[in-house]
Amino acid sequence: MNTLTVRENFRVVVDVDEKLTFTKDLAERERLLQRRAEQIVSDIRRHVDGILGRPRVLSDLVCRFCGRDWETENGIATGTPVCCDKAVSEWQALQPESGQFGVGA
Ligand SMILES: [Zn+2]
């Protein structure tokens, strides 16, 4: 036993079974998974004692093309993605045509 450390911050992590959601509509899939996660949280609140605070739903934002965590060049959610070429192409196609930035002056 390591006498320099103690275990703290015990918690239980529950993963939603995403295989149970059969739809190709990504927005609908996300909505169904969110609803299922919220139902699990509700069930935990109703049936489980010994919990500090409120159980909550957390999720990760990932690229729908490559599945990697969503990251952008400048760190803001609407910035240029850095994960894959497909995400960059899609991002460029979604940008309004507002002219060039940062050129000259
Ligand atoms: Zn990607």
| Rounded distance from Cα 35 to ligand 1 centre (Å) | 25
By CB atoms closer than 10 A (0-12, 13-18, 19+), residue 33 is middle
| pLDDT of 102 above 80 | no
Q: How many CB atoms lie within 10 A of CB 86?
A: 13
CA 38 to centroid of ligand 1, rounded, Å: 27
Q: Note the pTM of the prediction, 2 decimals.
A: 0.70
Find out whether 44 and 55 touch, Cβ atoms under 8 Å.
yes
pLDDT in tens, 14-41: 999 988 888 889 899 999 999 999 999 9
- The stretch 79-96 carries a mean pLDDT of 93
Q: How many CB atoms lie within 10 A of CB 80?
A: 14
Q: How long a stretch of residues is the chain?
A: 105
* 68 vs 66: CA distance, rounded Å: 6
DSSP assignment, residue 70? P
Segment 39-86, tens digit of pLDDT = 999 999 999 999 998 899 999 999 999 999 999 998 887 889 999 999
CA of 77 to the centre of ligand 1 (A): 14
Which long-range contacts (C-beta less than 8 Å, at least 24 apart) are formed by 56-59? 59/33, 59/34
